[in-house]
Amino acid sequence: MNTNANAMRVLYFTRPMENSFLDVLEADGGFAVEQRQLTDPEDTIFDALGQTHVYSISSAKDELPKQFWGVDSLFERCPNILMLSTYGAGYDVCDLEAATRAGVAVVNQAGGNKEGVAEHALAMMLTVSKRLMESDRAVRRGGITDRDAFKGTELKDKTVGIIGLGHVGSRLADLCTGLFNCRIIAYDPLLTAEEITAKGATKFDSLHEMVAEADFVSLNCPLIPTTRGMVDESVFDAMKDGAIYVATARGYIHDEDALVAALNSGKLAGAGIDVWDIEPPPTDHPLLQMDNVCLSPHTAGITVESRRNIAKIGAEQLVQVRNGEKPPRLLNPEVWPKFQDRFEAVFNTRPED
Q: Is 155 helix (H, G, I), strand (E, B) or coil?
A: coil
pLDDT tens per residue across span 27-51: 999 999 999 999 999 999 999 999 9
pLDDT tens per residue across span 261-285: 999 999 999 999 999 999 999 999 9
pLDDT tens per residue across span 77-129: 999 999 999 988 889 899 999 999 999 999 999 999 999 999 999 999 999 99
pLDDT tens per residue across span 215-239: 999 999 999 999 999 999 999 999 9
pLDDT tens per residue across span 287-342: 999 999 999 999 999 999 999 999 999 999 999 999 999 999 999 999 999 999 99
Residue 1 in this model has a pLDDT that exceeds 80: no
Residue 2 in this model has a pLDDT that exceeds 70: no
Catalytic residue positions? 250, 279, 298
Segment 190-200 mean pLDDT: 97
Q: Provide the pLDDT for residue 60.
A: 84
Q: Provide the pLDDT for residue 96.
A: 97
* Mean pLDDT over each residue of the chain, to the nearest integer: 95
* pLDDT band, very low/low/confident/very high, at 67 (cuts 50, 70, 90): very high
Q: Is 207 helix (H, G, I), strand (E, B) or coil?
A: helix
**CB hemisphere CA count around 132 (13 angstroms):** 12
Q: What is the DSSP letter of 192?
A: -
pLDDT tens per residue across span 122-142: 999 999 999 999 999 999 999
Segment 60-80 mean pLDDT: 94
Given the candidates 3.90.1200.10, 3.40.190.10, 3.40.50.720, 3.40.50.261, the CATH classification of the domain at 8-112+304-347 is 3.40.50.720
Distance CA 256, CA 276 (A): 8
Strand 31-35: give its sheet, edge to edge: 31-35, 8-12, 54-58, 83-87, 105-107
DSSP calls for 108-143: --TTTTHHHHHHHHHHHHHHHHTTHHHHHHHHHH--
| 159: enclosing H helix or E strand | strand 159-163
Distance CA 286, CA 288 (A): 5
15 versus 210: the higher-pLDDT residue is: 210
Residues in the chain: 353
Helices (H), 29-153: 42-50, 72-77, 96-102, 114-129, 132-141
Q: What does the domain layout of the chain look like in residue ranges?
A: 8-112+304-347, 114-295
Indicate if 114-295 has the same CATH topology as 8-112+304-347: yes
CB distance 243 to 129 below 8 Å = no
Fold annotation for 114-295: Rossmann fold (3.40.50)
